[in-house]
Structures are given as C-alpha cells and as structure tokens.
Amino acid sequence: MTKKLLKIESLPNYIDGSWTEGNEFTSVINPANGKKIVNVPLSNDEDVDVTVKAAQAAQKKWALVPAPQRAEILYNIGQLMKERKDDIARLLTLENGKVLEEARGEVQEGIDMAFYMAGEGRRLFGQTTNAELPDKFAMSVRSPVGVVGIITPWNFPIAIATWKTFPALIAGNAVVWKPATETPIMAYELAKICEEAGLPKGLLNVVYGSGSSVGDAMVHHPDIHVISFTGSNETGIRIAEACGRQLKKYSLELGGKNAVIVMEDADLDLAVEGIIWSAYGTSGQRCTACSRVIVHEDVKEKLEGKLLEQIKTLKVGNGLEDGIVMGPIINEAGLEKIKKYIEIGKNEGARLLTGGNELSITSSEDGYYFEPTLFTDATIDMRIAQEEVFGPVISIIPVNSFDEAIEANNSVSYGLSSSIFTNDVNRVYRAQRDLDTGIVYVNAGTTGAEIHLPFGGTKGTGNGHRDSGIQALDVFTEWKAIYVDYSGKLQRAQIDVE
Ligand code: UN1
C-alpha cells in the first residue's frame, strides 16, 4: 500500500516551479528494514545559485502581494495537508521510522502551522507610537528579509520544515530549502502541495544534497539573507561562524539534554507515563526527548520498579505495523552513537537496569533497532548525564531535595525542555521560574510543544531565536521604523523639542 504512495524512482529538485532531475544521487533507506525507498539528488553550489536567482525574482513580486492574499495560499496548503494527512504520515513513517500514530501527530503539527501562519496574514502587527514632535507620526512595521535558507533535520522532517517555511512565506520571503537527505520525501510532498495550492513559482524551492555542498553553498551565498537551521551543535557552530563573518542573520535550534524531575509527592504512575512517552517516543530521537530522570531518593526505588514494569511491555518494530510503540533508529551511524554512549555510561559507573543492546526484529531483519534502555545511579558530572545521545536511553539521577533537583536540571550545557512532577503548588511556581530551559512542563513529559508557542532553548540549545509561535516571525522579518512629518517644516528630533 505504501509503495503505491510514492510512484517515482528518483526525487527531483523543485526549483523555480520546475521539477528538475538530478545528476548524482544517493539512496534513501527505510530504517525499519534497511531497504532502499527512492533516490535523492546530490546537488551542488551551481544548483543553489540558480535557485537563489529564481527565488530573488519571485520574492520581489511576492513582497507586494497583500499579506491577507498570501494567507489564502497558506490556507489552501493547510487544507491539502489535512486531506492527505494519512498518506503523508505513511510516507513519513517509511522514511523516518517513527510509528504511524506519531507520524500523524507530526503532520498535524504542520497543518496547525499552516492555519496559524495563514491567520497571521491578517495580523503581522507592527506598532504605532507617538513621535516626540508635533504633527509627526511614528510607526514600526515588519518587512521581509528577502531570500531565506532553511536547513532541516530528519527527526521531524515535515513539522520543523513548516515551522520555518510558513512564517517565512507569510512575511513575504522566498525560501530555499535543503531537507535532510535521510528524509527527502516530506519535502517532495510539501512542494507538490504548495504547487497545487497556487503558490507562485520560485517562492518555495527544494534543493536536495549534503550539508557540505548544498548547505555550505546556502550559508555562503551572498543573496540568502537568513539561515534557519535545526540540527547538531557541531554544524550549528560552523554555520554561526560563517554567518558571523558575513554579518548574515542566523537562527539555530540545536541539541537538548532534557530532564523530568520526579519529586517525592508526585503521582508516580503519571510520571512513569510521561517519562516513557517523552523518552522513547520517536525512539528518543527528539531534541526534546527526556534523557534524564532526576528523582527524589524517597521514591527512587518505587519509580525504577514502575518504569521497568512498563518498559517490559513496549513493543519495538516497524512503525507501520499495528501495536508497535517504538520504531527503529534512523540509520547505522545513529545506532553506533547510541552503542558508544552505553559503553560510556557503563564505564562511568552508571548502573544498567534494562536494555543497552541492539535489537533484531524477525520481521524486519535489516532494520536499525535498539532496546529501550534505563540507567540508574548516574551523577550529574557523567557524560551519559551531560551529552545528547539521541536514542531511547534514560539516565536516572537521584537527588535529596527540590533545590538539588533544580541544580541537577540546570547542570547541562543545553537548555531546551524540562519537566517537573509534583503536586506542591509552591514548587510548581518555583520550578517554572528557576528551570533554565526554553520550555517547561508541569506534570507532563518533556515533549509535546504546540505550534503557537515559541519553540527553542537557552544556552547551547541555540542562539536565542525561536521556531514557531509568533516569535518565528522575528527570524524572517526586519523591523523598519517609519517617521512621517506632516508639519511642513524641518523639525529636528531631540533639538526642537522645547
Ligand atoms: C524536535 O524534537 O526537534 O515537542 C521537535 C515535541 C514536538 C517537536 C519536537 N512537538 O517534541
């Protein structure tokens, strides 16, 4: 059934409204069974250059289209995504591995973003204010930046793309998009929808290829005015350095080392559900995944017992099959990284309670699977408690007080998401104030961000920008201050005020 959903052998780039065949290709692999799904082009800097020129021309016209009219196209896009939600979700599971239910949730995130940003077409508010001189008017408006470059990861290949593309488009920009080569089908599906929805050519362009060729060419292109990137810290820092030298605006959404805090008064069953869902959903390959559990000593053993009981029941396998709750790891390199961290954890003295091994699934022999894994007795200085594993691995860190829990949470170099389970209202308010992350949950796991709130984090998680929410518009617009003097004479600011 899924095979029929994708009827081509090789994905084309989508440049200036044309489906452009590639010259060189790499294979896209289904992580659930190791089988090839389709070819994806490996484009080069010339492809990027051609695309940017087309995008520039298209953007000039688009910027003059009233935003409520731009919005009509976004509404169409949202509607088409809604109609095709199931098909898109199946293709997402095929290329990414996450279970179908989660894939549907991810597509929904994109639909929500389309309608939310379409609504912005009738807002995009600026500010009017008072001028300091008589017969003078002052206001500030958002204006588009021009051509924006977006570089998206494989773990949320459609949701994250919409967080960046839709605010960019509604604000009057053109987009050059390089999706991850592991998950290019979502870009193909979204580009088809944009074309059908009536988006003028050249406004959304998809250029497939590696980070070192296409990504690099985008980052260095003088006519791409913003780079919005979600991915690894290593690449993010390289992008920041290159953009910094060009005084180019950049927005980075990088790693996380997110914790669930479980206090002694918590509803432990609820905490267990929250931990399992946010640690093992998408096989732990979320920036927001719970990879640390900071637990009060008084309930540590009880919590461990309950977690172990639940973990035993988790069915791992091909995400398209019924009853599977955890799918595969994206690829061999992802598996190797997880295995490396299991060894690091053991050598550091963390105690492995369950898991820790690659899994073979009889129905999907050549897939990349890993057991849901639980370490305990980790300490905050261990690498397993500090570094991002990007897999289904939890480390339990025991503490003796609320203050110690907050300190443990904040001890990492990242600051994306955190969570606390407690029924003490004073602790709730203290925690939301003192947890040093961009997202805080109370009595819920570390995942589940909604698109109309800002998504992003503090410290090593990024450079202070936010994806999604109204705040995403700040990445894709410049503020312009406008003064209209209708006095008919020269009025000097700061001087003629007395
Ligand atoms: C990511 O992991 O990069 O809150 C995105 C969540 C999802 C988005 C995750 N809504 O986990």
- pLDDT tens-digit map of 390-442: 999 999 999 999 999 999 999 999 999 999 999 999 999 999 999 999 999 99
Longest CA span, the chain: 84
**Average model confidence (pLDDT) for the chain?**
97
Residue 286, ligand 1, Cβ within 6 A: yes
Concerning whether 290 is annotated as a catalytic residue, the answer is no
Residues counted in the chain: 498
User: Is pLDDT of 462 > 60?
Assistant: yes
**Residue 363: predicted pLDDT:** 84
Phi, psi for residue 174 in degrees, rounded to 5: -110, 150
Q: Tell me the whole-structure pTM to 2 decimals.
A: 0.97
Average pLDDT, integer, range 48-74: 98
Look at ligand 1, atom 11, and give the residue with the nearest C-alpha.
447
Average pLDDT, integer, range 268-277: 98
Contacts 24+ apart (CB under 8 A), 463-471: 463/236, 463/240, 463/250, 463/251, 463/252, 465/228, 465/251, 465/252, 465/253, 466/438, 467/160, 467/163, 467/164, 467/228, 467/230, 467/251, 467/253, 468/113, 468/163, 470/120
What is the distance between the alpha carbons of residues 166 and 465, in angstroms, rounded to a whole number? 16
Q: Identify any residues that bridge with 326 across adjacent strands, giving them in sequence order.
A: 316
pLDDT class for 1, splitting at 50, 70, 90? very low
Q: In angstroms, what is the span from residue 123 Cα to ligand 1's centroid?
A: 26
Q: Which of 186, 287, 290, 468 to mutate to test the pocket of ligand 1 (most atoms within 8 A of CB)?
A: 287
Which burial class, exposed, middle or buried, applies to 323 when counting CB atoms under 10 A from its CB (0-12, 13-18, 19+)? exposed
Q: In angstroms, what is the span from residue 183 Cα to ligand 1's centroid?
A: 16
**Residue 484: predicted pLDDT:** 98
User: Is pLDDT of 196 > 60?
Assistant: yes
Residue appearing with tokens 């204010």: 129
What is the distance between the alpha carbons of residues 410 and 426, in angstroms, rounded to a whole number? 19
Measured from the Cβ of residue 72, the count of other Cβ atoms closer than 10 Å reads: 15
Average pLDDT, integer, range 218-224: 98
Q: In angstroms, what is the span from residue 413 Cα to ligand 1's centroid?
A: 19
C-alpha 457, offset from chain centre: 11
Residue 205, ligand 1, Cβ within 6 A: no
Q: In angstroms, what is the span from residue 280 Cα to ligand 1's centroid?
A: 13
**Residue 356: predicted pLDDT:** 98
pLDDT for 2-25, tens place per residue?
Answer: 456 888 999 999 999 999 999 999
pLDDT for 159-172, tens place per residue?
Answer: 999 999 999 999 99
**Residue 362: predicted pLDDT:** 86
Concerning whether 273 is annotated as a catalytic residue, the answer is no
What is the distance between the alpha carbons of residues 296 and 265, in angstroms, rounded to a whole number? 9
pLDDT class for 26, splitting at 50, 70, 90? very high
**Residue 295: predicted pLDDT:** 98
Asked whether 446 and 290 are in contact (CB, 8 A), the reply is: yes
Of 102, 120, 253, 371, which is the active-site residue?
Answer: 253
